[in-house]
Amino acid sequence: MAREGEHLLDSHLLVGPTGLRYRDEGPYDRDDRGALWARWGGRPTGRVRLADAHGLRQRRALRQLLCQGCKRPADRTGDGTLWLIEDDPGSWDDWPEQLLTMHPPTCMPCATIADRACPHLSDTGSVLLYVKDSEAAGIRGHLYTPTVGGPPTRTYTPFVDYRDPRLPFTLAVHQVVALSGCTIVRRTPPRVPAHAERTP
Ligand SMILES: [Zn+2]
């Protein structure tokens, strides 16, 4: 999560005819698939902003399979790494195979807390599962489109595949992975709102 006092930096970003680059670009500004990553500035002085995953920490948690709650190693068994995702009953036949997510894995205690406390999961219901493989599939971030005679436009784009021709023009903010080899452990249905339970 990002904390108050932290923000994205896009100074030194140049939008050219072949894509984005930093004026002072260094070896750590791109990932090994060539995506240019947003830089973060400021200091983490304030509260955690729950809706706003910090890009560098989110990417490291996905790469090192750290729990998104406590930042310690996520639970692992022979079936893979533990993940908690929102339920999606209307989805494809072998769901959640190849599901795209930007959320890192979890440990069992943090999954139990999130199931109880996360308002989004209580709306959708949740699925706890083990995942054999989580391959980096793309990024989400800001797509810059050059314009004639004016500044480039910037559009927040939820998913750009690493093979997408728009990749060179997208400033990566979060990593997106594809889950495969999924074994579902438990399903938690959506929670009925308290006022609905009181309705006769
Ligand atoms: Zn945890």
- Does 162 reside within a domain? yes
| 166-188 pLDDT, tens digit each | 999 999 999 999 999 999 999 99
Is it the case that residue 164 has pLDDT exceeding 90?
yes
The rounded Å distance from CA 66 to ligand 1 centre is 8
- Does 121 reside within a domain? yes
Report how many domains make up the chain: 1
The rounded Å distance from CA 3 to ligand 1 centre is 18
- Does 19 reside within a domain? no
The rounded Å distance from CA 132 to ligand 1 centre is 19
- Does 20 reside within a domain? no
The rounded Å distance from CA 99 to ligand 1 centre is 22
The rounded Å distance from CA 112 to ligand 1 centre is 10
80-86 and 99-101: which strand pairing? unpaired
- Does 26 reside within a domain? no
Contact yes or no for 173/200 (Cβ under 8 A): no
User: For the chain, where are the E strands, in sequence order?
Assistant: 2-3, 6-9, 13-16, 19-22, 36-37, 39-42, 48-49, 76-77, 80-86, 99-101, 126-145, 153-161, 170-188
The rounded Å distance from CA 166 to ligand 1 centre is 35
| 93-148 pLDDT, tens digit each | 999 999 999 999 999 999 999 988 888 898 999 999 999 999 999 999 999 998 88
- Does 158 reside within a domain? yes
Is it the case that residue 3 has pLDDT exceeding 70?
no
- Does 45 reside within a domain? no
Q: Give dist(CA 115, CA 128) in Å, integer.
A: 10
Residue 66: count of CB within 10 angstroms of its CB: 20
**Mean pLDDT taken over the chain:** 87
Range of the domain at 106: 55-198
Which pLDDT band, with edges at 50, 70 and 90, does 47 fall under? low
- Does 176 reside within a domain? yes
The rounded Å distance from CA 84 to ligand 1 centre is 11
The rounded Å distance from CA 83 to ligand 1 centre is 11
Q: What is the pLDDT of residue 125?
A: 93
Dihedral sign for Cα 130, 133, 136, 138, please.
negative
